[in-house]
Amino acid sequence: MSVLAVIPARGASQGIPRKNLVRVAGRPLVTWSIEAAIQAASIDRVIVSTDDAEIAEVSAAAGAEVPFERPADLAGHRVTDLPVFQHALAWLDRADGYQPELVVHLRPTSPAREPGLVDAAVALLRGDPHATSVRSVSPAPVTPWKMWEIDHDGLLQPLLGTLDDEAFNLPRQALPPAWLHDGVVDVIRPHVILGGSMTGSRILAFETPSEGVDIDGPRDLARAEAALARLRPDRQASNSPHLSPAAPPADVPVRSMVKRTLPPSDPEDRRHPLRS
């Protein structure tokens, strides 16, 4: 059975203009996730979902398929991952009759991935038929047991635990370990996505080292370059201008992008594009 990698990369971004094309370690950001997918032995097909022609060109040059243009209503900053992935699965089913066994979610904003990491995440989900997904997590830099909410009276209330148990006054070492979803890699069963969730109810933890960097604002770019330099020293380029326009990587042959238009499906087809 096939494993599909989907890399969502919309054109607009708020924290960094044209973020998915910003050069990180000398290359457009989106290409790092494409390379991770192509190099994973378990992945058979790599798709970039984008609404942007330049991202599509760069992605195709890096070796990904860009078989459709993401609809504009799925490219806003408030759109969640779920409808983007449902659209991709439905499109591929209608166009190619393609229904993968597993879907790998690779975010361009988390470019630093150790070799073999994606394959290990896929193997983890394949090894547990009852699990609905795998989600990568890293140790949380700050424990939520020492975090607070402010109620309507302006009083502090513990985010976790109660005022009576005073967990917030315990030393950090005495508190339960906390894990942060780092966005490095997720693996999901397609029927879970089509059923309305990006995780389902049985989520396997895939522990990653602290190299996972989620690029949100300009200050994250240097952290990402440092992480990539440690993981992939052979692929770095010196003096890379962060916010310069991106061009297709020179060391990757350019592929022509295949764009096909499907007739619109009926509303019932949109709601239930695939059957598990």
- Determine the average pLDDT of the residues in 15-29: 91
pLDDT tens-digit series, residues 89-100: 999 999 999 999
**H or E, element range at 28:** strand 27-28
Whether pLDDT at 106 is above 50: yes
Is residue 150 located within the same domain as residue 132?
Answer: no
Residue finishing a domain among 177, 193, 224: 177
Is residue 170 located within the same domain as residue 183?
Answer: no
Is residue 167 located within the same domain as residue 187?
Answer: no
Is residue 164 located within the same domain as residue 33?
Answer: no
Per the structure, the count of domains in the chain is: 2
Residue finishing a domain among 126, 155, 177: 177
Give the CATH number for residue 198: 3.90.550.10
What is the percentage of the chain residues whose pLDDT exceeds 70? Answer: 83
Residue 276 lies in a domain: no
Whether pLDDT at 272 is above 50: no
Contacts of 224 (CB under 8 A, 6+ apart): 24, 25, 111, 112, 213, 215
Whether pLDDT at 147 is above 50: yes
**pLDDT for the residue numbered 212:** 64
Q: Which ranges in 161-200 belong to alpha helices (H)?
A: 190-194
Contacts of 231 (CB under 8 A, 6+ apart): 112, 113, 114, 115, 211
| Cβ atoms < 10 Å from Cβ of 102 | 21
Residue 165's domain comprises 141-177
Is residue 60 located within the same domain as residue 161?
Answer: no
pLDDT tens-digit series, residues 163-210: 999 999 999 999 999 999 999 999 999 999 999 999 999 999 999 875
Whether pLDDT at 242 is above 80: no
Is residue 133 located within the same domain as residue 151?
Answer: no
Cut 0.85: pTM above it: no
**H or E, element range at 23:** strand 23-24
Compute the 3-state secondary structure of the chain and give helix, strand, coil in percent, each to the nearest 5. Answer: 30, 20, 50
Whether pLDDT at 243 is above 60: no
User: Contact, 109 vs 29, CB < 8 A?
Assistant: yes
Is residue 79 located within the same domain as residue 57?
Answer: yes
User: Contact, 175 vs 139, CB < 8 A?
Assistant: no
